[in-house]
Amino acid sequence: MIRLNNIVKEYENGTHALRGVTMKIEDGEFVFLVGPSGSGKSTIIKLLTGEIVANSGRIAVNGFNLMNISDRQVPLLRRSIGVIFQDFRLIEKKTVYENLSFAMRAVGASPRLVRGRIPYVLELVGLSDKTQQFPHELSGGEQQRVAIARALVNNPSTIIADEPTGNLDPSRSLEIMRLLGRINELGTTVVVVTHERDLVNRFQKRVISLENGVVTGDGVSYDAK
Amino acid sequence: MKHDFSYFIREGVGNLFSHGFMSFATVGITVACLLIMGTFSLVAYNAEMLLRTLESEYEILAFIDDGNSAAQTQAIGRRIAELPNVKSVEFITRAEAMTAFEDRTLDDYLRANISEDMFRDRYAVFVNDLNLVNRTADQVRAIVGEKNVRVDEDIAGGFILVRNVAGVVSFALIIILLVVSVFIISNTIRLTTFDRRDEIAIMKMVGATNGFIRWPFVYEGFLLGLLSAIFAFALQWLIYASVAKGIDAADTLKFLDVVPFGSIWRPVAAIFGGAGMVIGIGGSLTAIHKFLQV
């Protein structure tokens, strides 16, 4: 579960990114976090992954109190979250399989567990036949599916996708959103940060709107001003 | 999480090859730094050995008055030998002193006109510590008489000065070179780390601990340091042996007695290995530190 209570975040340069944000995302939910540039979406992602700390308020993610989290607990928090980025962030020198095994070995998974888990995840994202290919040999949509597979491979309870379709054409974007929907159906909490109104409105899912660092809406549609 | 040695070493070795050029650059620079440090240290060591040899040949001459009997002369020798800073005492007869003078002098006229009467029996007194030579000379004077001692205090002072200056300069230069080496290696490895900042960011993102991220770099630094040390040692040996051979063959440098590399290779190898690993691991750790703050 993700819970933010009256979160305020001001950066050192004086930017007020969040001005008292409160929201609650239950386990197993699919939520769109929408808003224009500068609305505070990226700040929320950084807060949720323990990259930055809020100035005030209360924030808890998957049982971790992020206002009081120790350096030793941050890796444990991150293992409970899979993050997907707009620019995929794959390692170009590694094959699809190696990108995934790298993410698993980084958290101490045994070679046996790696061998057992990767085929399952690649099948889930529809890339079973691409295991030995390098990222540059794949289309944008396929690369994003590898990134999703990497986010899933350590079996996190939550997936946070930061503009996952920003670099994709509309048909690939839809494909990626459907894949995230399927992952959500398997029980994983999915938070998708985006500003693509049409795409959001195609899915009848919960939409939390942000603007100027405050929550301006919480419903099932994205009504951008 | 347990220490997955085989994984870390595999990653470390893999990194060496996957970033071949940077590895090559790092090894090259480390070898250069080690060679500069090693060459300077070996020159300093040889200079120290030469100084010691010269010091060991430094002598106080204690002349014996002609009125002393053989027994009295021997008693004087024993008393001098018992003085605290005296390493050894050598009795030189007037005949031996004259022969030595004849061997040294190039002046034929002088050689033809000297006689044994012009020389006196003497003791050559060798000391343990040149710093105390003045005190020892005074003690010898108390035994043989004020005017019967010849000691070149300026030369002794010169030796002491050269040794002290050489010691301080060597120590300072070696420390400076070591710090410069770590700095250069750190920057070189930082470049390779910068090249891998995405990998590190991904590892952090999926929940790898700093320790887990650091270990492959530590092994990589260790291997780079070890490899550099091996290359540097081999090159150092080659250079040293060539220079020693050159000095040996040069007539004008006969007075220089170069320490054979065969007699010092073990400590040199140990120092190269240790310095290489300190530079490699130290450089890796300082380089990666910045990238772990995510």
- Asked if residue A118 belongs to a domain, the reply is yes
Residue A11, both tokens: 């950066």
Neighbours of B192 (CB within 10 A): 23
Task: Show the domain range for A126.
Answer: 2-219
**Does pLDDT of A194 surpass 60?**
yes
Q: Say which residue, B254 or B167, is predicted with more confidence.
A: B167
Q: What is the mean pLDDT of residues A37-58?
A: 93
Among the partner residues B199, B205, B209, nearest to A91 by beta-carbon distance: B199
* Domain total of chain A: 1
- Identify the residue with better confidence: B284 or A24: A24
Task: Give the chain B residue whose CA is nearest to the CA of A79.
Answer: B207
pLDDT over 90 at B234, yes or no: yes
CB–CB contact B202 A93 (8 Å):
no
pLDDT at A122 > cutoff 90: yes
pLDDT level of residue A197 (50, 70, 90 thresholds): confident
Q: Which residue has the tokens 């150092």?
A: B236
- pLDDT value at residue B293: 65
* Contacts for B171 with CB less than 8 Å, ≥ 6 apart: none
Is B87 a residue whose pLDDT tops 80? yes
pLDDT at position A77 over 70? yes
Contacts of A103 in chain B (CB under 8 A): 202-203, 206
Looking at the predicted structure, is the pLDDT value of residue A156 above 90?
yes
Q: How far is CA B255 from each of CA B44, B108, B155, B194, B249, rounded to the nearest angstrom?
A: 17, 26, 18, 53, 12
Edge to edge, the sheet with strand A30-34 lists A81-85, A158-162, A189-194, A30-34, A206-211, A214-219
Phi, psi of A68, rounded to the nearest 5 degrees: -140, 35
Tell me: the pLDDT tens digits for B146-167? 888 888 877 777 777 877 887 7
Q: With H, G, I as helix, E, B as strand and everything else as coil, classify residue B158.
A: helix
Q: From the list A80, A83, A108, which residue is nearest B212 (CB)?
A: A108
Q: What is the dihedral of CA B129, B131, B132, B134, to 10 degrees?
A: 130
B166 touches B51 (CB < 8 A):
yes
Q: Compute the average pLDDT of residues A39-63.
A: 94
pLDDT mean over B115-144: 88
Q: Is residue A157 part of a domain?
A: yes
| Inter-chain CB proximity A154 and B206 less than 8 Å | yes
State the pLDDT at residue B286. Answer: 80
Q: Does a structural domain hold residue A87?
A: yes
Q: Average pLDDT of B202-215? A: 85
Encode pLDDT of A202-216 as tens digits. 888 999 999 999 999
Say if residues B133 and B156 touch (Cβ distance below 8 Å). Answer: yes
Query: Which class is domain B57-152?
Result: alpha beta
- Interval A126-137 mean pLDDT: 94
- Is A187's pLDDT higher than 90? yes
| Residue B294 identity (one-letter amino acid) | V
* Of A112, A216, A109, the residue nearest A155 (C-alpha): A109
Q: Which of A189, A209, A215, A185 is nearest to A197 (CA)?
A: A209
What are the beta bridge partners of residue B149? B62
Across all residues in chain B, what is the average pLDDT? 84
What CATH number has the domain bearing residue A72?
3.40.50.300
pTM given for the model: 0.68
Residue tagged 């950084």 (tokens): A46
Residue A23 bridge partners (DSSP): A4
Q: What is the mean pLDDT of residues B238-243?
A: 92
pLDDT digits (tens, 9 = 90+) for A81-109: 999 988 888 988 889 999 999 889 888 88
- Overall average pLDDT of the B27-36 stretch: 87
- Least confident residue range of A135-139, B128-132, B191-195: B191-195
Report residue B65 as tokens.
């008055």
Write the CB contacts of B113 (distance below 8 Å, at least 6 apart in sequence): none
Mean pLDDT check: name the lowest of A144-148, A195-199, B86-90, B107-111.
Answer: B107-111
- Give the per-residue pLDDT at B2: 65
Residue closest to B118 by CA, chosen among B66, B70, B76: B66
B212, pLDDT greater than 90: no
Cβ–Cβ under 8 Å, residues B217 and B16: no
Cα distances (Å, whole numbers) of residue A77 to A61, A74, A153, B33: 8, 5, 15, 43
Amino acid at site A183: I
pLDDT of residue A25: 96
Tens digit of pLDDT for each residue in A3-16?
A: 999 999 999 999 99
Whether residue A49 and residue B205 make contact (CB cut-off 8 A), yes or no, is yes
Q: Is the Cβ–Cβ distance between A7 and A57 less than 8 Å?
A: yes
Q: Where are the domains of chain B?
A: 5-54+159-292, 57-152
The residues on B that touch A, with CB distances below 8 Å, are 1-2, 4, 7, 18, 198-199, 201-209, 212-213, 294
